[in-house]
Amino acid sequence: MQGLLWALVIAISLFSIDKATYKALYNVPIRQTGVLACALVFAVLWRIKAGILTGLDLHILGITAATLILGWRLTILSSVLATALLAAFGLIEFELLPVQLLIGAFIPILLSYLAFIVSYQYLPRHFFVYIFVCAFITAGFIACIKIALGALFYLAIGQYSWQQLADNYVYLSAIIWLPEAMLNGMAITIMITYRPHWVKTFYDKDYLGS
């Protein structure tokens, strides 16, 4: 199982590497700052956690807002940097690294970006749609999906019973979705109000009707 998880992590990491994206990252200092800033924010948010069962911690992800700001490719880079930082300080056990990267970062990032694409294609391109659908609602759902995927993974490998997972982890999705949604929604609101040019997925001509 560990081998499969690492294979998926490496495959997604390699798929995220795009020559144009990384060339722009190399040439534009503000993007480098954005990637490092998001990595540090991730590290702080992911460090502040609570949990009863080993490997099933509850914390704010912050991934949806970062994905909207940086795009999915650079957000994956930020998540890798954050995870490496936490691992370097002994805050993540080595055997939990692929689970943390895959379920705690990569899948939420890809789903957040998919939600943005679907919203952009099929919903009105409006300022408030961007905030409430792409950031607020999506972030809440992503928090619940992350919890569900973590529970299913540990159930599949037989480490915990469903009753243990339901009583000590799954039900917490009813608690965490609102803080997750509010944090991401507020972050995006502030960014597109004061620094819209820093948000990769926010297009003035579409969302402001200019």
Give me the CATH number covering residue 190. 1.10.1760.20
User: The whole model's pTM is what?
Assistant: 0.93
**CB count in 10 Å sphere of residue 156:** 9
CB of 146 closer than 8 Å to CB of 103: yes
User: Looking at the 3D structure of the chain, how many domains does it have?
Assistant: 1
Q: Which amino acid is at 3?
A: G
Would you state the pLDDT for residue 185?
A: 95
Provide the CA 197 distance to its chain's centre, in angstroms: 21
Q: Residue 91 sits in which domain range?
A: 2-207
Q: Where are the alpha helices (DSSP H) in 28-71?
A: 29-47, 63-70
Beta-strand runs (E) in 44-197: none
CA dist 146 → 20, 57, 152, 155, 170 (Å): 30, 11, 10, 14, 10
Can you give the pLDDT at residue 131?
94
Q: 143 burial class (0-12, 13-18, 19+ CB within 10 angstroms)?
A: buried
Tens digit of each residue's pLDDT (9 = 90 or more) over 42-83: 999 999 887 667 778 888 999 999 999 999 999 999 999 999
94 CB-near residues (< 8 Å, 6+ apart): 87
171 burial (CB, 10 Å; 0-12 / 13-18 / 19+) is exposed
Question: At 209, phi and psi to the nearest 5?
Answer: 65, 25
18-27: long-range pairs with CB below 8 Å, 24+: 18/73, 21/71, 21/73, 21/74, 25/74
Q: Give the residues of the chain that fall short of pLDDT 50.
A: 210
